């Protein structure tokens, strides 16, 4: 019974991971798509020339063609004289993205915190559970700090720039701290999840409640509080700048050379900044302002990282020698250091190393991950030694034969 459970549980968790990741990506596409569309729409509207439209309170309109049809979206300065019975609200895209993302974080990271979150080379947590609680703290504190900055400085003259500067400094500090507490892969994800939490919290606590108060006031025949619209717009704009940095953080777990870099926190911040600058270019472009300098700085940031992270020749201690290494020795190393994640139908990334033929067929993958990038074992949780990496290198360079 225990053997069956130990087999079915990882298999079931793998299915849960796949389905949650699928849902998360679908919801994120819907949320980001609607966010990008409305930012573009707001910046692309033109003052109507039809007197009848202006009489009705239309402040901006746009004609567009898509999919064989013509569309004429219109934006009212406040609201139409009488609200229609049905209004479409954009919020479930946000909530579904966050909930599915948190569930995926739980299944993938919290479930195996000792492997995915804790790296003793970075910080010696007394228990994986404590490291998991610290991640929850990052999400909560991140939102509280960001929200406090917006409350204190968001309404002052020049407040948007000050808020942007303070939030950027906080992200810098959070990235540094996360990369000194958690495994690099988890640290990148945590900082991205922190920003994503603030994005969804903006929708939950500011944007939607403000819209509901405006609608309630209009239906009651009273004047809505203009602060609700202003604050909701401010938080919505913040969300659009967070988007590309968050997307990068979500994708970064596929690229160990980034999160395993010596100053990985700086790598994370520079690539997030590049994403925000690219988004700024497109926001201004929608207004008819082509500010190519934002692209220039973004390219400079990425280019400097390409050069800085370029691999160096292997040190002499790991150089390949002519001494042969028997396959039996390689099999023993793999069984000792790799089987934890790469065995059975639920093997990580679908790479099974519990059979001789599989070890040989994945020899180049093993060489890349174990010898070149040294990304595996993940966070070196199984304690692979440098000498064992050398043995694997010699075996692959000699032809990877059984």
Q: Which residue did the predictor score with more confidence, 280 or 382? A: 280
- Boundary of a domain, candidates 277, 308, 339: 308
Q: Which of 242, 237, 125, 154 is nearest to 191 (CA)?
A: 242
- Looking only at the bridges linking them, the beta strands covering 64-66 and 69-71 are antiparallel
Separation of CA 206 from chain center: 22
Mean pLDDT score, 90-95: 94
| Residue 76, H or E segment | strand 74-76
CA distance 137 to 131: 10
- Total residues found in the chain within this entry: 402
Residues 248 and 293 in one domain: yes
Q: Print the domain residue range for 273.
A: 2-45+92-308
Mean pLDDT score, 52-81: 90
Residue 310 DSSP code = P
- Give the pLDDT confidence score for residue 154 in this predicted structure: 84
Residues 185 and 241 in one domain: yes
pLDDT digits over 174-201, tens only? 999 999 999 999 999 999 999 999 999 9
Residues whose CB falls within 8 Å of the CB of residue 38, separated by 6 or more in sequence, listed in order: 90, 236
CATH of the domain at 369: 1.10.760
State the distance between the two ends of the chain, measured CA to CA, in whole angstroms: 35
Q: Evaluate if residue 321 carries a pLDDT over 80.
A: no
Instruction: Name the band, by pLDDT with cuts 50, 70 and 90, for residue 318.
Output: very low
Q: Evaluate if residue 388 carries a pLDDT over 90.
A: no
Q: Evaluate if residue 299 carries a pLDDT over 90.
A: yes
CA distance 120 to 381: 8
CA distance 118 to 382: 12
Q: Evaluate if residue 319 carries a pLDDT over 50.
A: no
In a domain, 10, yes or no: yes
Residues 207 and 352 in one domain: no
Q: Which of 281, 268, 105 is nearest to 197 (CA)?
A: 105
Residues 110 and 135 in one domain: yes
- DSSP bridge pairs for 65: 70
In a domain, 293, yes or no: yes
Contact 194, 179 (CB under 8 A): no
- Give the pLDDT confidence score for residue 2 in this predicted structure: 60
Residues 280 and 160 in one domain: yes
Residue 12, helix vs strand vs coil = helix
In a domain, 84, yes or no: no
Mean pLDDT score, 43-54: 90
In a domain, 68, yes or no: no
Mean pLDDT score, 147-172: 91
In a domain, 77, yes or no: no
pLDDT digits over 350-371, tens only? 788 878 888 888 888 888 888 8
Contact 16, 110 (CB under 8 A): no
Kindly report whether the global pTM for this prediction surpasses the value 0.75. Answer: yes
Q: Which single residue is written with the structure tokens 């729409």?
A: 41
CB neighbours of residue 130 within 10 Å: 12
- Give the pLDDT confidence score for residue 136 in this predicted structure: 96
Sign of CA dihedral 203, 206, 212, 214: negative
CA distance 390 to 386: 6
In a domain, 60, yes or no: no
- Give the pLDDT confidence score for residue 320 in this predicted structure: 47
CA distance 243 to 246: 5
Instruction: Name the band, by pLDDT with cuts 50, 70 and 90, for residue 313.
Output: low
In a domain, 216, yes or no: yes
Q: Evaluate if residue 152 carries a pLDDT over 90.
A: yes
Residues 213 and 97 in one domain: yes
CA distance 77 to 214: 13
Residues 328 and 233 in one domain: no
CA distance 132 to 130: 5
Residues 247 and 109 in one domain: yes
- Give the pLDDT confidence score for residue 330 in this predicted structure: 83
- Give the pLDDT confidence score for residue 6 in this predicted structure: 60
Residues 179 and 145 in one domain: yes
CA distance 205 to 171: 21
CA distance 61 to 59: 7
Residues 241 and 330 in one domain: no
Mean pLDDT score, 164-180: 96
- Boundary of a domain, candidates 308, 342, 364: 308
Cα–Cα distances (Å) from 250 to 21, 191, 259, 261, in that order, read: 11, 10, 12, 17
In a domain, 122, yes or no: yes
- Boundary of a domain, candidates 308, 341, 356: 308
- Give the pLDDT confidence score for residue 95 in this predicted structure: 96
Residues 251 and 304 in one domain: yes
- Give the pLDDT confidence score for residue 3 in this predicted structure: 62
Q: Which of 14, 3, 254 is nearest to 111 (CA)?
A: 14
| Average pLDDT value for the chain | 88
- Give the pLDDT confidence score for residue 30 in this predicted structure: 95
Name the percent of the chain lying above pLDDT 70.
Answer: 95
In 310-388, the DSSP E strands lie at: none
Tokens (6 digits) for 160: 């948007």
Residues 130 and 271 in one domain: yes
Tokens (6 digits) for 264: 């990985």
The tally of domains found in the chain comes to 2
């Amino acid at each position: 019974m225990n053997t069956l459970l130990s087999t079915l549980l990882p298999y079931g968790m793998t299915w849960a991971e796949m389905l949650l990741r699928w849902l998360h990506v679908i919801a994120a596409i819907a949320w980001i798509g609607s966010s990008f569309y409305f930012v573009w729409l707001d910046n692309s509207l033109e003052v109507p020339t039809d007197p009848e439209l202006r009489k009705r309170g239309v402040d901006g309109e746009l004609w567009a063609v898509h999919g064989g049809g013509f569309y004429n979206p219109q934006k009212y300065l406040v609201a139409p004289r009488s609200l229609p019975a049905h209004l479409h609200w954009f919020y479930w895209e946000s909530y579904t993205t966050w909930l599915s993302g948190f569930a995926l974080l739980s299944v993938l990271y919290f479930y195996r915190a000792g492997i995915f979150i804790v790296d003793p080379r970075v910080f010696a947590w007394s228990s994986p559970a404590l490291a998991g609680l610290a991640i929850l703290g990052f999400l909560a504190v991140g939102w509280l700090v960001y929200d406090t900055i917006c409350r204190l400085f968001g309404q002052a003259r020049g407040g948007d720039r000050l808020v942007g500067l303070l939030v950027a400094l906080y992200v810098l500090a959070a990235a540094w701290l996360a990369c000194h507490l958690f495994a690099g892969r988890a640290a990148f994800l945590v900082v991205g999840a922190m920003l994503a939490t603030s994005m969804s919290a903006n929708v939950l606590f500011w944007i939607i409640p403000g819209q509901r108060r405006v609608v309630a006031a209009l239906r009651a025949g009273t004047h809505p509080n203009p602060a609700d619209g202003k604050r909701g717009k401010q938080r919505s704009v913040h969300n659009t700048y967070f988007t590309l940095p968050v997307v990068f953080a979500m994708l970064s777990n596929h690229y160990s050379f980034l999160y395993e870099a010596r100053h990985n926190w700086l790598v994370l911040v520079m690539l997030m900044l590049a994403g925000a600058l690219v988004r700024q270019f497109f926001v201004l472009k929608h207004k008819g302002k082509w500010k190519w300098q934002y692209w220039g700085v973004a390219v400079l940031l990425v280019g400097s990282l390409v050069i800085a992270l370029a691999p160096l020749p292997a040190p002499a201690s790991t150089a390949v020698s002519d001494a042969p290494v028997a396959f039996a020795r390689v099999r023993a190393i793999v069984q000792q250091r790799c089987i934890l994640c790469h065995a059975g139908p639920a093997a990580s990334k679908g790479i099974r190393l519990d059979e001789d033929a599989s070890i040989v067929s994945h020899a180049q993958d093993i060489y890349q991950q174990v010898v070149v990038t040294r990304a595996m074992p993940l966070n070196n949780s199984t304690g692979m030694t440098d000498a064992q990496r050398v043995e694997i290198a010699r075996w692959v360079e000699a032809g990877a034969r059984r």
